[in-house]
Amino acid sequence: MKSLSFQNGDQIPIIGLGTWKSKPGEVYQAVLSALKAGYRHIDCAAIYDNEIEVGKALKDALAGGIVSRKDLFVTSKLWNDSHRKEDVKIGIQKTLKDLQLDYLDLYLIHWPVSFKKGVGFAESREQFYTYADVPLAQTWQGMQQMQQEGLTRHIGVSNFNTEKLKELFAIGGQGPELNQVEMHPYLRQEKLVNFCKDKGMLMTAYSPLGSGDRSISSKKSDEPKLFEDHLVLSLADKYKVSPAQILIAFSVHRDIAVIPKSVNEERIKQNLEAGSIEFEVEDFKALNAITTQYRFIDGTFFTGSKSPYNLSDLWEEF
């Protein structure tokens, strides 16, 4: 499988298994099936509330000789309630215990939004910290310390725009090595991609299939459907693959890691096989020229009248 290289030469497999929305009772088998199918990149997060079960799958796969630790790449993320410097270590230690690992390959700040300790999802102004309360610099210094202590080999961020990334690079020391954001043909994020590449950062695309399985309450009635896009369907027919495979291959061809989620064994295999699709130049150009622009994970759950944060704290403009 194709991999991307960090600046020190370490490799991250370009296709990984996403575990967001994978339910307890399903995620164990999904991770095990993925590792048996050849995946070596598993993407996790504390807030997904399934890392204990993911950890059981990793332990069994390692004990059973399905994969060795040195060939496994595991990512997790620091939740919003652990942004104070003294809380960063608590966050990563809980994740390592749940995943039954001695170290992570990559640890990310999940969002540039801070909650008070113990808050899952802030619902009132009193449950948030502001940037004045907990500057991003403080959180990043905690991340740098985790890397220095060997608890994670690489550090990065998720859902950070160029302005927030500039803040972190200005701190000095190890800068962010990867930025994980929503990306697909309807949200190509060219400005952000170019900035990250100029900084020597890698990128990972989440929700590459449009996150159609997220809760009804977070969807808009008129949102577009990537699986029904005419070009995506025509290319799936041309290359004799599924629309999902076309969407995954789109990120692969951009040299962007991609983490489609599935708990279906056959789809898990198909998603990995998407890495072998070779687009003709004109087809790839056509995907890059789609005019529809849409963000499925819009971040409004962190903004509004009860929050000190705005959407401009999260996203680039289209």
Show which residues are catalytic. 48
Q: Which amino acid is at 289?
A: A
What is the three-state SS of 174-223? Answer: CCCCEEEEECECCECCHHHHHHHHHCCCEEEEECCCCCCCCCHHHCCCCC
- 199-226: b or e for each residue (b if 16 or more CB lie within 10 Å)? eebbbbbbbbbbbeeeeeeeeeeeeeeb
Alpha helices in the chain (DSSP H): 27-37, 51-63, 85-99, 136-148, 162-169, 190-198, 230-239, 243-253, 265-273, 281-288
The angle at the Cα of 65, spanning 62 to 68, to the nearest 5 degrees, equals: 55
Give me 151's structure tokens. Answer: 């608890």
